[in-house]
C-alpha cells in the first residue's frame, strides 16, 4: 500500500472534511497514484476561498486573487444566521462586492459589525432594506467604525424589516485597510439584549422576538440604564416607572440620577426623552435655531445655512438636487408666526453661490442689520476665503474686505457669534492645498489652533467658552493614522485665555460618534441634534456645563473648568464674557503658556498672519516669523500694498483658476495647478506692469495709423487709458522723460503720445476696446474736442488733458499695451454634463455615474460627504446606464443592474435596472431629475415567455447568441463567423462586434490584406507602400506609385543609389511583400539582398503605368526562397535608345517579419579604348572643357549649409571615422552632383587657429556619383 502514503481527507471548497465521501475519495486517490509517476503539485500558499488544483488556486464564484483572498462579485446568503467578509487580508484596490441576505417576508434582519476599517470618505459599505439599491438606504459606513481595539465603543447594529438586506461595498484606488466582518441573524433579539434581559417571542405569527429587560434597564436592546441609585429618593427625586422610566428630580437637584445640586460644579450629559414625530426623520448638514423656547430645524443634507432675526429665519445658498451646478445663491426667508417661505430678490446678487458655509445676522455700528456669510465652497470658484455681507435694509450683497491674517477658505467649518463683543469665532473646515492635496483647516485668523483637525462638526458658545463637538476628523491621504470619520471628540476653547482643552467624552452608554449635526444653546445647556454616523440620526444629546455661581470662593472660581470660564466679581463667581473685540486676550488672570513660542510663530508663513495673532510674533525681512522676544534685524509691519509680503500668500490660498483670475495680482499656473503671485518682471524688458496689463511708451514721432500698426505688431491696439492707475503711470512716465532731458543738459523732451481714443460718429468718442470715453479720469482740455481731427493724443501742459488731432498727423510718442491674460480657464467641472467631457482631463474632474454629476477632484469628499456616490470614474467612461452594458459579466458589476437572458439560452440578453426579484422601471411620478423612484415590473423579463432573470450569478452558457452549450457552459460550435471560448470574437478575415448577438463582416481590403482590425475593420495591408483603411491608396508621400484598386504600389527607385528598407517595427509585422519600379536610360546592374528568405519576380514593360493593366508586363526572373539576387540588363536585349519608357518591375514577396531589404540599381559602364585618329584632339578638348566646368562649379558659391558642431567630440574619433559628405545636391538625371564636405585645416599643437584664421572649412566638388541612400 505504498500508494496510500500521504493521502489526506478530501475537503469541500471551504475546507471542512466530508466524511460521507471518504471511501470514494481514497479509491480515486489510489487510482491516480497508480497511474501517475508523481503526486499532484500542491499550492505554495493556502487557498482561502477556493481549491488547489495542480499548484494553482481555483477560486469559488465571487472570489479573486492568487489565494482567492479578495471578494469581487455578488453573493446570496439564505441561512438564518451567518457572516460576511471581504476576505482574510486587506481588501484590494477597486473592489466591488455585493451580498444579498434573504429571509422571509417582513422578517427582521440584524447586522452586527464586529469589525470595520476602510478608508474614510472613499471606501463605503451601503446597507439597503430590500433586495436592490433602489430599496431604502438605511446606512452608509466608512472609516474606522470598529477598529481592532474597541476601547469603550459599542458595536453598531443595523436592522432591516423587509425580509431582505442588500450590502454593497466599493473601494477606490488610494489605499486599503483590513476590511470588515459582519455577522447577521434573522429574527433575533437586538445585541442579545446587551446582557441585561432575555429574548422572548412576540405574540404574533411573524416569528419576531423582543427583549424583556431586567430592572433598571430599558431600550430595545436593554442597553440604557435608568433610575440609578433610585434617583436619590426621597431627598433628591423619585423614579417614574409608569412613563419614560427616568428620574424626576426635585427643584434643587439635577442630572440623570438627581445627584447634582442646582447650581452644580460638575458638568453632565443626558439623553432627553424626545418622541420623534413623523416629520423628524434623521438628517444631517441641517441648521437648528432656537426661537421662543422651540428648536427649529431647517434643511438637511443640503448644506443650506440659516440665521435668525426676530421672527424670521434667513436661509442662503446650499446644495440642490435639481440643477446642474447643484449649488444655489437663493436667499429665502421663513416667517415663524406666518409659517410661510418667501424668496428674496436682492438688488445686487451675491458674488458667490456657496455650500458648507456659516451665516450670522449681526448689527453693525451704524445700526444696519446684515447677514455675514463665512467662506464655503463654490463649484465655480472652489473654496471661498471671502466674507459676504447681505444688507437687510438695502436688500443688496457685497464682499467684505477684512484685515488681519490671510485666511484660507474652508467648507464645513463651525462659527459662533458673540453679540456682546461683536466677534465671530470660526473653527475648522475642509480645504484644498496646492495640487490636489487635501487637508483640514484647524484654525483661522488670529486665534490658537485646537490641535485636532475636523469639519462638519458643531460649535456653541457657553460661559465664555466655545464648545466643539464631533465632526469628521479624517485627514489621511496615503495611509491610515487612525483618524475616524465619525468622531465624538469634545473640545473647549477658552476665549479669555486663548486656550484649547480636550473634555471627557460623553458617557451615555451608547455610540454618539457623528458629523453633520447641529448644536444650539438654551437655558445654559447645549443641545445636539441629528447628524450622521452610518445611518442618519434624529436623536438629541444635551450637555450642561458647570455653573459659575456654584463656586463659593475666589480660588475655586478661578480654577473652574475646563469647559467654563469664571471670574470673581464683587464677592460672586460669574461667567466671563468678552465685552468688546478690543478686549485683551489672553486675559490678565490666565496662566501663561510654557510652550515654545518660536515653534508657534514659525508656522506662520506670511507677514499678515504672523503679526495678527495672539502668539506674540514678529515678521522679519528675511521672510521669517519669530517670537517678539527674539532678535530681528529689520521688523516689518503688515501692509496690503506690499506685494512681496502679502500677495504671495494671498494668491496661494485661491484654490482654482477662476478664483485666481478674479485678482489682477495673481495668475494661475496650469502645470502645478496653483495660484501664484505675478512676478515683477512678468511683462519683459522695456515693458511696465500696470494693473492687469503691460504698457510700453515710445518717443517715436508717428501718425495714429502707423502707431496702431506698431502696437498691433506688439500684440495689441493703442493703449486705452481706462483706469486711474494707467493714467497716473503714463503721466509719471511723461514727467520722467522731461526731467531726463534736463539732467542731460539737453532740450526738454516733451511727449504728447497718441492714446487709443477715436471719434466713432458725430458725437461719440470711444476707446479702442470700444469702452465709452466716460470710463476714465482723463478730461478734454478747454475747447476740446475740436473738429480738427478724429483721433486723440495726451497733452501735458499746465494741466494734463486730451486734444483732438487728424489721424494722419504726427505726434511725439505712443503708448502700446500687452495683455497679461493667460489661457482662459477651462469649463468648471460642475458645468460638464457628460462623463466624456468631465474626464477629458483625468486629474481635474471626477464623474459620479450614480448621480450623473461631475465634480472637482479637490472637492469630491465634500460633494458626497454621506457616500451619495456609488461609483466614480476619472477615465474610461463606460455605459452610464444598464441598457448600455452588453454582457452579463459587465452588467452584474454594476450594483443597480440585472441580466435578462433570452429564451435561446445562448448568452444573449439585455441588461436593465433591477432587483433580486426581477427588473424594475421608473415610477410614473418622480421628484427631481436624479431621484430614482423605481417599481418592480417582472413582465419586462417574464419567465412565462422563456426569459431568465439573473441577479446574483450569470447563466452558465455565455456564447453571445452564436452557439449552444454542451455541459451547460462550453460553447459547442461558434457560428456566424465567430470564434473564442464564448464566441466573443470574429474569425480571421472578418470584423465586427459579435458580443450579445452582434454580427461579423468580411474585411474589405481590395485583395491586399487577409485580416483587419476585429472591431473597426481597418485592413492590415500586406504590401509595403499600400495604405488606407481598405488598402486603397499608395503612400505617395514616400515615393510609392501605382493604383492598388487595379493593381499594386511600387517604390520608384533612383538610378545609381542603394536603398535599405528596414521593416522592424511592430507596425510592420503584417507586411509580406514590397514592390519596386525603375525606368533606366542605358545598361544597368541590379542587386537585391535581405536578412530573410523571399520570393522574387522581375518583369518589364514598355509603359510606366505601374501595373494598372494586367497582361502588359513580360516576365524576366522568377525565383523562390532566396536571400540574394544580382543581374544585369543591357541594350543588347532591351533597346533603351528606341524605347525611352522601358520600365522594370521588381516584386519581393513571401518574406517574414522582421526583415531588412537592400536594393540597388546602378548604370553599367562598358570599358573601351580610343583608336588614335585625327579626331582625338577634339575629344581631348571636350574633356578639358568639362574639367574647367567642374572647377568653376565647385569654386562658386553654391548653397548655404547649416552645420551643428559638438564641442565635446574627440578629434581622434573624428579622424578615425569614415569620410562622407555632409550635404549633396544631385544634378538632373542623378548622374552627377555637388558634394559638400567639412575639412579640418592644419593647426598648431594647441588646436586653436591663429587670430583671423579658421580651423575648418566647407569644401564643394562636382563629381560623378554612385552614392547610397538609406531609407527607414
> Which range has the worst mean pLDDT, 32-41, 172-181, 1008-1017, 1191-1200?
32-41
Q: Residue 1057: which pLDDT band, with cuts at 50, 70 and 90? A: confident
DSSP H helices, 809-924, are 835-838, 860-863, 888-893
For the domain covering 72-188, report its CATH number.
Answer: 2.60.120.290
**574 CB-contact burial (10 Å; exposed 0-12 / middle 13-18 / buried 19+):** middle
Nearest Cα neighbor of 704 from 796, 799, 794 is: 794
Q: Kind of pairing, strands 377-378 and 369-374? A: unpaired
The larger pLDDT score, comparing residue 538 to residue 742, is at 538
Distance CA 1077, CA 1099 (A): 10
User: Taking 60 as the threshold, does the pLDDT of residue 546 lie above it?
Assistant: yes
**Within a 10 A sphere around the Cβ of 791, how many other Cβ atoms?**
25
* Look-up of cell digits 531609407: 1271
Cβ(350)–Cβ(360) under 8 Å? no
Q: Is 1033-1163 the same fold as 688-819?
A: no
Give the predicted TM-score (pTM) of the model: 0.74
DSSP-derived 3-state class of residue 29 = helix
Distance CA 699, CA 599 (A): 55
DSSP labels, 332-383: EEEETTTTEEEEE--SB--S---BS-EEEEEE-TTS-EEEEEE--EETTTEE
Cβ(495)–Cβ(565) under 8 Å? yes
Cβ(378)–Cβ(327) under 8 Å? yes
Q: How many CA atoms lie within 13 A of 285 on its CB side?
A: 22
Q: Quick one: average pLDDT of 1126-1136? A: 80
What are 335's three cell numbers?
Answer: 416667517
| pLDDT score recorded for residue 1017 | 94
Give residues with Cβ within 8 angstroms of 677, minimum separation 6.
643, 647, 648, 650, 651, 652, 665, 666, 667
What are 130's three cell numbers?
Answer: 430590500
> Which range has the worst mean pLDDT, 29-38, 240-249, 1109-1118?
29-38
Q: Quick one: average pLDDT of 1003-1029? A: 94
The larger pLDDT score, comparing residue 1254 to residue 995, is at 995
Cβ(1142)–Cβ(1100) under 8 Å? yes
**Within a 10 A sphere around the Cβ of 992, how many other Cβ atoms?**
19
Q: Give the pLDDT confidence of 589-609 residue by residue, as tens digits.
A: 787 765 556 666 766 666 666
Distance CA 997, CA 999 (A): 7
Q: Give the pLDDT confidence of 280-308 residue by residue, as tens digits.
A: 678 899 999 999 989 999 987 655 667 88
CA dihedral of residues 1168, 1170, 1176, 1178 (deg, nearest 10)? -10
| pLDDT score recorded for residue 614 | 61
Nearest Cα neighbor of 296 from 122, 491, 522 is: 522
DSSP-derived 3-state class of residue 1259 = strand
The larger pLDDT score, comparing residue 1266 to residue 573, is at 573
Q: Give the pLDDT confidence of 259-283 residue by residue, as tens digits.
A: 999 999 999 999 887 776 655 678 8
DSSP H helices, 855-911, are 860-863, 888-893
Q: Residue 932: which pLDDT band, with cuts at 50, 70 and 90? A: low
Cβ(986)–Cβ(1016) under 8 Å? no
The larger pLDDT score, comparing residue 29 to residue 712, is at 712
Q: Kind of pairing, strands 312-316 and 396-400? A: unpaired
User: Taking 90 as the threshold, does the pLDDT of residue 12 lie above it?
Assistant: no
* DSSP type of residue 40: P
User: Taking 90 as the threshold, does the pLDDT of residue 499 lie above it?
Assistant: no
> Which range has the worst mean pLDDT, 125-129, 548-552, 908-912, 1183-1187?
1183-1187
Q: Quick one: average pLDDT of 760-771? A: 76
Q: Which fold has domain 1033-1163?
A: Jelly Rolls (2.60.120)
Secondary structure of 812-837 as H, E, C letters? EEEEEEEECCCCCCCCCHHHCCCHHH
Distance CA 671, CA 658 (A): 15
What are 1271's three cell numbers?
Answer: 531609407
DSSP-derived 3-state class of residue 866 = coil
DSSP-derived 3-state class of residue 1211 = helix
N residues, the chain: 1272
Distance CA 651, CA 673 (A): 12
User: Taking 60 as the threshold, does the pLDDT of residue 1065 lie above it?
Assistant: yes
Cβ(215)–Cβ(196) under 8 Å? no
| pLDDT score recorded for residue 971 | 94
DSSP-derived 3-state class of residue 420 = coil
| pLDDT score recorded for residue 598 | 60
User: Taking 80 as the threshold, does the pLDDT of residue 171 lie above it?
Assistant: yes
Q: Residue 604: what are its φ and ψ, rounded to 5°? A: -85, 130
Distance CA 169, CA 1081 (A): 79
For the stretch 1132-1168, what's the b/e string if a residue is b when 16 or more beta carbons lie within 10 angstroms of its beta carbon?
Answer: eebebeeeeebbbbbbbeebeeebebbbbbbbeeeee
Residue 1167 CA to its chain's centroid (Å): 76
What are 148's three cell numbers?
Answer: 481592532
User: Taking 50 as the threshold, does the pLDDT of residue 402 lie above it?
Assistant: yes
Distance CA 296, CA 956 (A): 57
Q: Give the pLDDT confidence of 1032-1056 residue by residue, as tens digits.
A: 999 999 889 999 998 999 999 888 8
Q: Tell me how far apart the terminal alpha carbons of the chain are, to the nearest angstrom.
A: 70
Domain ranges of the chain: 72-188, 212-268, 597-638, 688-819, 826-877, 1033-1163, 1176-1264
What are 340's three cell numbers?
Answer: 410661510
| pLDDT score recorded for residue 1141 | 76
Q: Which fold has domain 826-877?
A: ligand-binding face of the semaphorins, domain 2 (3.30.1680)
User: Taking 80 as the threshold, does the pLDDT of residue 777 lie above it?
Assistant: no
Distance CA 885, CA 895 (A): 13
Q: Residue 192: what are its φ and ψ, rounded to 5°? A: 55, 35
Q: Residue 1085: which pLDDT band, with cuts at 50, 70 and 90? A: confident
Query: Which range among 144-153, 194-203, 591-600, 912-921 has the greatest average pLDDT?
Result: 912-921
* DSSP type of residue 1072: -
Q: Residue 768: which pLDDT band, with cuts at 50, 70 and 90? A: confident
**Within a 10 A sphere around the Cβ of 924, how many other Cβ atoms?**
7
Q: What angle do CA 997, 1003, 1007 make, to 5 degrees?
A: 160
User: Taking 80 as the threshold, does the pLDDT of residue 1226 lie above it?
Assistant: no
Average pLDDT, the chain: 81
Nearest Cα neighbor of 899 from 842, 957, 966, 827 is: 957
Q: What angle do CA 284, 286, 287 make, to 5 degrees?
A: 145
| Domain 688-819, CATH number (from 1.20.210.10, 3.40.50.10860, 3.40.50.970, 3.10.100.10) | 3.10.100.10
Distance CA 221, CA 195 (A): 9
Q: Residue 84: what are its φ and ψ, rounded to 5°? A: -140, 150
Q: Give the pLDDT confidence of 651-709 residue by residue, as tens digits.
A: 877 888 888 877 767 778 777 778 877 765 567 677 887 766 788 888 888 898 888 88
DSSP-derived 3-state class of residue 858 = helix
Distance CA 228, CA 216 (A): 7
For the domain covering 212-268, report its CATH number.
Answer: 2.10.25
What are 604's three cell numbers?
Answer: 506662520
Distance CA 312, CA 300 (A): 19
Q: Quick one: average pLDDT of 1252-1266? A: 70
Q: Quick one: average pLDDT of 217-241? A: 92
Amino acid at each position: 500500500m505504498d500508494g496510500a502514503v500521504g493521502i489526506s481527507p478530501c475537503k469541500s471548497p471551504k475546507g471542512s472534511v466530508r466524511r460521507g465521501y471518504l471511501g470514494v475519495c481514497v479509491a480515486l486517490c489510489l487510482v491516480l497514484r497508480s497511474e501517475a509517476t508523481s503526486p499532484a503539485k500542491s499550492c505554495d500558499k493556502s487557498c482561502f476561498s477556493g481549491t488547489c488544483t495542480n499548484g494553482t488556486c481555483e477560486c469559488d464564484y465571487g472570489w479573486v486573487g492568487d489565494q482567492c483572498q479578495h471578494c469581487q462579485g455578488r453573493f446570496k446568503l439564505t441561512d438564518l444566521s451567518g457572516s460576511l467578509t471581504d476576505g482574510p487580508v486587506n481588501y484590494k484596490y477597486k473592489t466591488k462586492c455585493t451580498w444579498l441576505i434573504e429571509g422571509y417576508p417582513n422578517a427582521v434582519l440584524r447586522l452586527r459589525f464586529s469589525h470595520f476599517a476602510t478608508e474614510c470618505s472613499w471606501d463605503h459599505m451601503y446597507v439597503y432594506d430590500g433586495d436592490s439599491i433602489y430599496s431604502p438606504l438605511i446606512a452608509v459606513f466608512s472609516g474606522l467604525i470598529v477598529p481592532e481595539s474597541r476601547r469603550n465603543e459599542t458595536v453598531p447594529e443595523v436592522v432591516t424589516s423587509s425580509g431582505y438586506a442588500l450590502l454593497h461595498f466599493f473601494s477606490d484606488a488610494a489605499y486599503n485597510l483590513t476590511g470588515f466582518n459582519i455577522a447577521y441573524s434573522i429574527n433575533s433579539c437586538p445585541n442579545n439584549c446587551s446582557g441585561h434581559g432575555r429574548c422572548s417571542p412576540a405574540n404574533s405569527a411573524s416569528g419576531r422576538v423582543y427583549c424583556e429587560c431586567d430592572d433598571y434597564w430599558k431600550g430595545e436592546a436593554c442597553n440604557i440604564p435608568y433610575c440609578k441609585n433610585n434617583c436619590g429618593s426621597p431627598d433628591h427625586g423619585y423614579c417614574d416607572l409608569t412613563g419614560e422610566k427616568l428620574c424626576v428630580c426635585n427643584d434643587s437637584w439635577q442630572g440623570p440620577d438627581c445627584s447634582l445640586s442646582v447650581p452644580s460644579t460638575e458638568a453632565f450629559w443626558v439623553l432627553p426623552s424626545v418622541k420623534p414625530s413623523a416629520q423628524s426623520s434623521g438628517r444631517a448638514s441641517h441648521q437648528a435655531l432656537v426661537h421662543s423656547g422651540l428648536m427649529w430645524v431647517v434643511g438637511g443634507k443640503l448644506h443650506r445655512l440659516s440665521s435668525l432675526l426676530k421672527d424670521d429665519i434667513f436661509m442662503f445658498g446650499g446644495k440642490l438636487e435639481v440643477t446642474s451646478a447643484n449649488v444655489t445663491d437663493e436667499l429665502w426667508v421663513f416667517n415663524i408666526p406666518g409659517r410661510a417661505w418667501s424668496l428674496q430678490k436682492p438688488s445686487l446678487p451675491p458674488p458667490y453661490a456657496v455650500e458648507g458655509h456659516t451665516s450670522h445676522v449681526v448689527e453693525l455700528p451704524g445700526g444696519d442689520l446684515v447677514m455675514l456669510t463665512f467662506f464655503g465652497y463654490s463649484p465655480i470658484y472652489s473654496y471661498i476665503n471671502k466674507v459676504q455681507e447681505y444688507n437687510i435694509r438695502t436688500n443688496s450683497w457685497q464682499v467684505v474686505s477684512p484685515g488681519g491674517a490671510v485666511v484660507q477658505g474652508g467648507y464645513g467649518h463651525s462659527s459662533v457669534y458673540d453679540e456682546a463683543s461683536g466677534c465671530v469665532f470660526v473653527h475648522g473646515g475642509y480645504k484644498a492645498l496646492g495640487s490636489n492635496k487635501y487637508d483640514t483647516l484647524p484654525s483661522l485668523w488670529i486665534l490658537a489652533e485646537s490641535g485636532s483637525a475636523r469639519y462638519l462638526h458643531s460649535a456653541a458658545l457657553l460661559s465664555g467658552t466655545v464648545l466643539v463637538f464631533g465632526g469628521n476628523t479624517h485627514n489621511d491621504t496615503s495611509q491610515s493614522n487612525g483618524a475616524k470619520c465619525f468622531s465624538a471628540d469634545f473640545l473647549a476653547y477658552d476665549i479669555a485665555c486663548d486656550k484649547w482643552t480636550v473634555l471627557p467624552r460623553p458617557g451615555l452608554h451608547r455610540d454618539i460618534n457623528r458629523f453633520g449635526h447641529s448644536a444650539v444653546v438654551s437655558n445654559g445647556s447645549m443641545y445636539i441634534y441629528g447628524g450622521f454616523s452610518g445611518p442618519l440620526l434624529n436623536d438629541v444629546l444635551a450637555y450642561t456645563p458647570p455653573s459659575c455661581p456654584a463656586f463659593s470662593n475666589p480660588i475655586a472660581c478661578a480654577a473652574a473648568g475646563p469647559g467654563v470660564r469664571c471670574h470673581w466679581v464683587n464677592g460672586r463667581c460669574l461667567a466671563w464674557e468678552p465685552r468688546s473685540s478690543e478686549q485683551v486676550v489672553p486675559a490678565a488672570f490666565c496662566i501663561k503658556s510654557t510652550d515654545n513660542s518660536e515653534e508657534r510663530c514659525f508656522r506662520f508663513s506670511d507677514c499678515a498672519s504672523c503679526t495678527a495673532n495672539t502668539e506674540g510674533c514678529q515678521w522679519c525681512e528675511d521672510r521669517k516669523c519669530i517670537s517678539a522676544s527674539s532678535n530681528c534685524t529689520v521688523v516689518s509691519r503688515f501692509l496690503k500694498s506690499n506685494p512681496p509680503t502679502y500677495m504671495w500668500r494671498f494668491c496661494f490660498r485661491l484654490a482654482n483658476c477662476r478664483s485666481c483670475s478674479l485678482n489682477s495680482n495673481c495668475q494661475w499656473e496650469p502645470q502645478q495647478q496653483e495660484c501664484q503671485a505675478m512676478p515683477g518682471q512678468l511683462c519683459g524688458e522695456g515693458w511696465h506692469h500696470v494693473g492687469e496689463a503691460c504698457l510700453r511708451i515710445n518717443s517715436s514721432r508717428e501718425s495714429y495709423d502707423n502707431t496702431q500698426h506698431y502696437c498691433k505688431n506688439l500684440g495689441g491696439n493703442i493703449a486705452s487709458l481706462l483706469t486711474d492707475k494707467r493714467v497716473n503711470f503714463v503721466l509719471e512716465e511723461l514727467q520722467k522723460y522731461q526731467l531726463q532731458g534736463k539732467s542731460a543738459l539737453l532740450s526738454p523732451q516733451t511727449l504728447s503720445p497718441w492714446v487709443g481714443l477715436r471719434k466713432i460718429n458725430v458725437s461719440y468718442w470711444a476707446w479702442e476696446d470700444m469702452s465709452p470715453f466716460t470710463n476714465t479720469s482723463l478730461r478734454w482740455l478747454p475747447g476740446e474736442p475740436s473738429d480738427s481731427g478724429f483721433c486723440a493724443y495726451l497733452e501735458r501742459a499746465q494741466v494734463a488733458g486730451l486734444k483732438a488731432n487728424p489721424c494722419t498727423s504726427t505726434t511725439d510718442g505712443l503708448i502700446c499695451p500687452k495683455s497679461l491674460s493667460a489661457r482662459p480657464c477651462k469649463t468648471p467641472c460642475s458645468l460638464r454634463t457628460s462623463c466624456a467631457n468631465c474626464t477629458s482631463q483625468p486629474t481635474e474632474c471626477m464623474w459620479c455615474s450614480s448621480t450623473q454629476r461631475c465634480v472637482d477632484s479637490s472637492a469630491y469628499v465634500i460633494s458626497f460627504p454621506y457616500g451619495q456616490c456609488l461609483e466614480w470614474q476619472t477615465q474610461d467612461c463606460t455605459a452610464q446606464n444598464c441598457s448600455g452594458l452588453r454582457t452579463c459579466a459587465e452588467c452584474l458589476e454594476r450594483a443597480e443592474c440585472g441580466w435578462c437572458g433570452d429564451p435561446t439560452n445562448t448568452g444573449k440578453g439585455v441588461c436593465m435596472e433591477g432587483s433580486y426579484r426581477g427588473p424594475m422601471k421608473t415610477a410614473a411620478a418622480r421628484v427631481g431629475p436624479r431621484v430614482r423612484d423605481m417599481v418592480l415590473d417582472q413582465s419586462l423579463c417574464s419567465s412565462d415567455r422563456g426569459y431568465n432573470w439573473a441577479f446574483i450569478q450569470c447563466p452558465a452558457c455565455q456564447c453571445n447568441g452564436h452557439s449552444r452549450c454542451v455541459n451547460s457552459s462550453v460553447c459547442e460550435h461558434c457560428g456566424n463567423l465567430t470564434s473564442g471560448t464564448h464566441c466573443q470574437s470574429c474569425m480571421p478575415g472578418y470584423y465586427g462586434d459579435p458580443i450579445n448577438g452582434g454580427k461579423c463582416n468580411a474585411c474589405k481590403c481590395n485583395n491586399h490584406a487577409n485580416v483587419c482590425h476585429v472591431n473597426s475593420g481597418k485592413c492590415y495591408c500586406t504590401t509595403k507602400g499600400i495604405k488606407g483603411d481598405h488598402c486603397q491608396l499608395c503612400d505617395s508621400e514616400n515615393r510609392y506609385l501605382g493604383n492598388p484598386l487595379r493593381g499594386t504600389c511600387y517604390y520608384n527607385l533612383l538610378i545609381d543609389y542603394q536603398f535599405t528598407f528596414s521593416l522592424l517595427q511592430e507596425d510592420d509585422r503584417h507586411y509580406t511583400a514590397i514592390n519596386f519600379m525603375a525606368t533606366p536610360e542605358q545598361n544597368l546592374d541590379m542587386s537585391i539582398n535581405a536578412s530573410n528568405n523571399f520570393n522574387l519576380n522581375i518583369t518589364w514593360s514598355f509603359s510606366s503605368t505601374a501595373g494598372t493593366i494586367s497582361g502588359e508586363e513580360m516576365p524576366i526572373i522568377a525565383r523562390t526562397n532566396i536571400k540574394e539576387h544580382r543581374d544585369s540588363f543591357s541594350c543588347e536585349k532591351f533597346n533603351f535608345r528606341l524605347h525611352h519608357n522601358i520600365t522594370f518591375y521588381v516584386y519581393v514577396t513571401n518574406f517574414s517579419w522582421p526583415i531588412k531589404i537592400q536594393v540597388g540599381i546602378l548604370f553599367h559602364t562598358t570599358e573601351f579604348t580610343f583608336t588614335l585618329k585625327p579626331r582625338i584632339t577634339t575629344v581631348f578638348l571636350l574633356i578639358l572643357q568639362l574639367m574647367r566646368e567642374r572647377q568653376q562649379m565647385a569654386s562658386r558659391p553654391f548653397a548655404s549649409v547649416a552645420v551643428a558642431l559638438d564641442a565635446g567630440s574627440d578629434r581622434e574619433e573624428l579622424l578615425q571615422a569614415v569620410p562622407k559628405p555632409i550635404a549633396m545636391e544631385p544634378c538632373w538625371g542623378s548622374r552627377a552632383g555637388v558634394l559638400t564636405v567639412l575639412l579640418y585645416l592644419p593647426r598648431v599643437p594647441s588646436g586653436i587657429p591663429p587670430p583671423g584664421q579658421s580651423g575648418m572649412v566647407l569644401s564643394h566638388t562636382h563629381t560623378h556619383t554612385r552614392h547610397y541612400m538609406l531609407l527607414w
